[in-house]
Structure formats: structure tokens, C-alpha cells
Structure 1
């Protein structure tokens, strides 16, 4: 019989998720202004104030909303995005391990854009889920090894803004389907996943409260044992966290980096400048299964003067942006109220 000293400690991990990376024209022009001889479009300064919160996680996952240009050429913003390929360097540099890539803009540059984006991710050492260059790649679940835990990551989107996948490449972007999602989750479990995360592009833009369709889909996806955590994007505003049975749904992470604000877009509310780093702490139970022990959040806000992503709580504590104090206080209040509005006790940095 093993002595207490010989019983291994439960495995644990902290996962971190952030919302939409939307490289509108003003964003990539700022990256160009930051550029050096080695990196023509340098996004790294934009992430500098949140680097520690991202890199401290055991697994950090971003959401790349747009295709990337392989040579920083033919760049474009809304409605058909093509962001500088140098963005992949910054994503890796700040400490992300990979990204969800299925979005309504995945096909903006055709299948060639998908191939270029995933090639750049591979070159940067980043994992990816949601798009594929080959049928074989589409069939292989994305797995991450984290503190001895095998994490499965899936990424799906509600649609492609009316664009149509080629008849011979329907697997190039994952489109929302309960059957398809659960089938991939089962495949991930079969090849060793002990905890499965679904990143899903869904909901209504600029709507803080999840739609009935979101909530119904979440309940259906979590009815079985295949999916352990749902993380949502697309609404461009933060949405609540909800517990359904023993699992959690983070309905919307908001924008992490974008040019959206009431000053740039008539339909964009103040909430479109808010973002969040949601941290999910996993712990192994006696049976070997994993449960979410805690959910915490680091609110962020985009300073559109330089497109710096500001850690709101840290900035307010240090008074490092005194001219922005009121805007940051309002952002913190919005984020806190929204995340907790479905009764989940989310620990929010900068708030009691």
C-alpha cells in the first residue's frame, strides 16, 4: 500500500484565452510605424503590457480572426481582411502557444490565405485549430501537452460571410455542427485528450447578452462528456460566464486587439474597446478527471492612440495612464458586471 509521501500530487494547469485579433487598417499601419529592419510590421509593442499575464499561463490560446499575408503584401482591412504575416511573430513572442482560427473571415483570401496563415503559424512554432491545408490535417485533432496533461483544442465558426468553401475542400474551415464538433471531440479523446476545449465563433455582434441560440447550442454541446469547456468569440464585446452542469461556458471574450470603438464605427459600442484574458485553472480529481477549480480574468482595453493593449487593473493601480482613468474605470466596471452576470464568481483583477 503506498505511503502518503509516494502518492503523486494532482496534476494542475492554468489555461488562458483571449479574444479577437482584428488587424484593421489603422492597426497594421501602427505596426508598420513600429517596424524595424528585422520586422517590417512590429506588433510586439502593442502586447507589451499584457505579456506577463499571457506568458505566465501554462497554455495560452489566442483567437486569430483574419488571414495573414505570407509576405506582408496586398494588405487589407474590413470587409476582406489580409493582415501582415509578421503578426505571427508577435503572437509567438508574447507567449501564446497557439490560436483558434475558425472565424467568419477565415476564407477572406480564399484557400491560399488559409495555407499562408497556417504556414506562418508553423514557422513561428504556434499550434492552430479551425482551418486546414489538407484533409489529413483537418482530421487530426489539435493536442497540447501541458504539465503532463493532454489538452484537446477544437475551433469552429458559424459561417464565412457568404463565401463558399470549394467543393473538393469542405474541410478547409470547421463550420458549426453539433455532430461534427462532438465527433472531433471524441476523436481527440481517443488519441489521448484528457480535457477538451471548444473555441466557437458565434452569437450576435455587439450584443453583451448571449443569444438564445448560443445558450441552446451550449447546452446541447455540454449534454455529454465530450466537451469540457466552451470559449466564445465573434460578438466583439465581452459576454458572461455560465456554469452548465459541471462545465463552464465563456460566451464571449470581446476584442483583444482591434480598431473598433464608438469613434471608428457607428455601430460599435464602448464595450467594443474592452477585452479580457480569461484564466482557467484545472485540477485533477481523485478519479483522474479534470475539473475547473477557478476562473479569473484580467480586463484589458485598447488604447487606440498606439493600439497598446492595456492591463486595466494594473494601469489603474499604478496610475500609469492618468489621462485615461475614467475610461479605464468604466471599462473595468463593464467587464466585471458582465462576466459575473450569470452568477459565476469570476475573480477579476483590480476588483474585490
Structure 2
């Protein structure tokens, strides 16, 4: 994976607060009791290295340009051309994007991570991703959705209703192959402004990009950009709300809250900075409802009416929702849960669909005009085995018969995911048995 990462969060959007943070007024997910976890060592320094990248030639009017870091890897000799290829003969640029849904570290999930832990990571989530790691890392740009804040020292952990996940999760996210995450969610303020700052500090330490939250006004004003195989991808992240918490008057920029105008303004700023394809990750919809709400569809239509947003990727519903084409662009309404403890066995309101997840892969190809166009969309359905919180590639497991005791559950999950993704007429290619 050859990636140059331009980090610093996008968006000046946010609701206008009237007071300092207050206790949440609505619960968001799983009716699971909070339990304290033992203290553990802090997350290690990640292996990715940062080096300076060129300063953008243009900047949004909201803030001056800043020097931005770059993550690079050296191509193997076999892939390095012996001489420059003439522009007229150059192959069209092509990249694969990958997106996954909610990482929701309930108490049972971080306890399992602690059981896997060792000297390197006291809370080790990597075994949970082992069966899907290749599908994530093979993408040119892989984006996760972090639902919750992170603890700086793996202490004071909580799984519901006010979350605080182990800081070691950031290192694991990077090591399994993600390049960045959307971070705006209804749980962004669960640990206040301090939780936002800690989470982003841990992401920086792990070499991960992030969009949706910010530590400073400048960070909020500069959109997140990724350089991927010579293509500049802009990434935005917004949420419908904050579970009743209120952003302080002097920190209204700390989390991007849904506003069509703010989203479009940030997308334009990303384009001014060179973005050739803009992705919006958005937290929206009704929990456990497979069909998108009228509000989701109306907002999607409004956002895709112009040329600012090229792809919308939704989270929050905790179930997979359909893919729709609007005005020539795609909306992935809901990616479902990628890792959580939600299931009918752990939560009265959680349907079987809450155990389903998906890796959505979007292939972009440079068109004749030089613009990046979606040429294919495919999906790897996943399912959480709550015995070990392993994320199972449902299709691959069925083909290999690697979990014979789970065959029926995997078949049902695969069928649900396939039917839902295609229900609005988009021919999503789904990985699975022939």
C-alpha cells in the first residue's frame, strides 16, 4: 500500500451550544452494564513514521495553510519504472477505497481484548481482525469508523452508556491495515473535550488519519486529505448529534455536527486544496432500522445535488442499510456494526442484523477528462463471532467450511447483507459462495 497522508481535520460545522457539557439525555446502543476494567499499560508508539509533505498551494478561506505530514513506503524494485512514462501513454490512475462500520467497544469486547493482551498491547484487538485483515490492508485507502473516545492509559474504561475504550485500540487499528477513521459520532463527547484531544493524540501517535473531531480551530478548518497513488482524496466526517452533550461555547468546532451548508462548505474547501474525490462519512438514521429514513434520503439528495460530494458512507444504525445511486453518485446508507457486542442475546432491542458487518470496496478509475469515477462497488460481508469477538469473513468461512458449527448463522447473515445492499437496485458485487 503506497500512501501519502495529509492529516488535519476538516469542517467548521457544529451546533451552537448554550452551556457546558451536560449528562446525555438519550442512550445510543446496547443495554449492557458498565463494569470497571483493571488498569493496564499505555499504548505503544506505532511503527509508522511521519515526514514533511509539500504545503498545499491553496487553502480554505477559514484558515491559513499548514505544513502537513506524509506517510510513505518505498515501491519494490520490480514496480519501479526504469524511465518516466510519457503523459500521453500513462495508464489511467486507479485506486480502491475500503470502508467499514462501527467500532463499538462494549465491556465484553474490551475484556476480550485484555484477554488477548501481552507485552506489546495490554488490550490487543488484533486477533479480532485477523480473518478480515487482508481485505482491509489490500485496499489503497482503508477507512474505519471509531464510535467512541479512547483512554490515554487504558484506565477508567466504560462500555455503556458513556463509552471509553482502551487507547491500545488505535495502535491495533493501524496495524491491521487502516489508514484513518471517521470520528464524528453521537459518542464523540462521551469524555468531554479532553476525550477528543486524547483520542486524536493517540491517532497521531499511531500514524492514522482522522476526520470529524478537532483539537484547535485551525485543525477544524483544514480538511483531511489523503494522497493515494497520485490521487488526492478528501474525507469529511459529521454526526447528527452528541447524545445530549453540548459543545462548549469556545469549542463549537470540536465535533462536526450535521449541517448541509457546513458539509458543502468543507467539501469546497477540500476541492480548493486539491481533492479530486470527496468522501463524506456521516452518522445518521434510526438505530436498528434497515430502511433509510426519509431524513437520510432527503439529506443525501441535497448533498449530492451539486459537484462537491462524490460518495456518502453512513454509520450509526448498527445494521446494514442499502446502497443507492443519486444523481450519478453512490450513497452507502449504513455499514452496520463491524465490531461490537450487539446481538439479540445481549440486547433486547438488537435484531440479528446487529451482528452483521461489511467491508465495502469502491474502485475509482481516472476518466478521459481526468476526473476520478466510481467504476465498481463490491462488498465482503462479515459477522461477529461473539464467543471470541472475531470478525468473520462470512463468504470465505462458508467456502472453507472453517466454522461448521456456525454455518446456518453465516448463511443467514450473508443472505441478509446481500439482499439489503442490493435492495435499491445497485448491483453490488458480494463476495461469497458461487
What TM-score do you get using the length of structure 2 for normalisation?
A: 0.80
Q: Within 5 Å, which residues of 2 pair with 1:288-327?
A: 288-327=370-409
CA distance in 2, matches of 1:138, 1:37: 36
Alpha carbons 2:396, 2:433 under 8 Å: kept: no
The reply on whether 1:197 has 2:279 as its aligned counterpart is yes
**Match of 1:246?**
328
Deviation (angstroms), 1:37: 1.8
CA drift at 1:112: 0.2
1:85-113 deviations in Å (ceiling 9; x for gaps): 00001100110000000000000000000
Distance (whole Å) between structure 2 residues aligned to residue 125 and residue 351 of structure 1: 36
2:241 paired with 1:159: yes
Aligned-partner Cα distance in 2 for 1:43–1:149: 31
Change (3 A) 1:313 1:4: same
Q: Which structure dedicates a bigger proportion of its chain to helix?
A: 1
Q: What runs of 5+ residues in structure 1 fail to find an aligned partner?
A: none
Other-structure match for 2:139: 57
Runs of 4+ in 1 over 3 A off after TM superposition: 3-6
Work out the CA distance in 1 between the residues paired with 2:231 and 2:270.
13
2:217 is the alignment partner of 1:135: yes
Give 1:8 shift: 1.3
Partner SS, residue 250 of structure 2: coil
Q: Unaligned stretches of 5+ in structure 2?
A: 1-84
Q: 2: CA distance between counterparts of 1:144 and 1:99?
A: 12
Select 1:180's aligned residue among 262, 270, 274: 262
DSSP 3-state at the match of 1:90? helix
Provide the C-alpha distance between the structure 1 equivalents of 2:328 and 2:355, rounded to a whole number of angstroms.
31
1:275 alignment partner in structure 2: 357
C-alpha distance in 1 between matches for 2:350 and 2:110: 20
Decide which of 214, 223, 236 is 2:305's aligned counterpart. Answer: 223
SS in 2 for 1:83: coil
Q: Deviations over 1:228-287 (max 9, x none)?
A: 000000000000000011100000000000000000000000000000000000011111
Q: Is 1:207 paired with 2:289?
A: yes
Q: Equivalent residue for 1:26?
A: 108
Q: Corresponding residue for 1:108?
A: 190
2: distance between equivalents of 1:199 and 1:137?
Answer: 18
Q: Which residue of 1 aligns with 2:99?
A: 17
Of structures 1 and 2, the larger Rg is shown by 2
- CA distance in 1 between counterparts of 2:366 and 2:119 reads 47
Q: Secondary structure at the match of 1:220?
A: helix
Separation in structure 1 between the aligned mates of residue 296 and residue 121 of structure 2, nearest angstrom = 40
Cα distance in 1 for partners of 2:90, 2:399 equals 39
In structure 2, the residue matched to 1:235 is: 317
Corresponding residue for residue 40 of structure 1: 122
Quick one: distance in 1 between partners of 2:182 and 2:386?
Answer: 24
- Aligned residue pair count: 350
Pairing 1:343–2:425 present: yes
Give the distance between the partners of 1:340 and 1:39, measured in 2 at CA: 39
- Counterpart-to-counterpart distance in 1, 2:198 and 2:86: 52
Q: Which has the higher contact order (CA 8 A, sep 6+)?
A: 2
1:83 is aligned to 2:165: yes
What is the TM-score with the length of structure 1 in the denominator? Answer: 0.98
Paired position in structure 2 for 1:255: 337
Over the residues paired in the alignment, what is the CA RMSD in angstroms?
A: 1.1
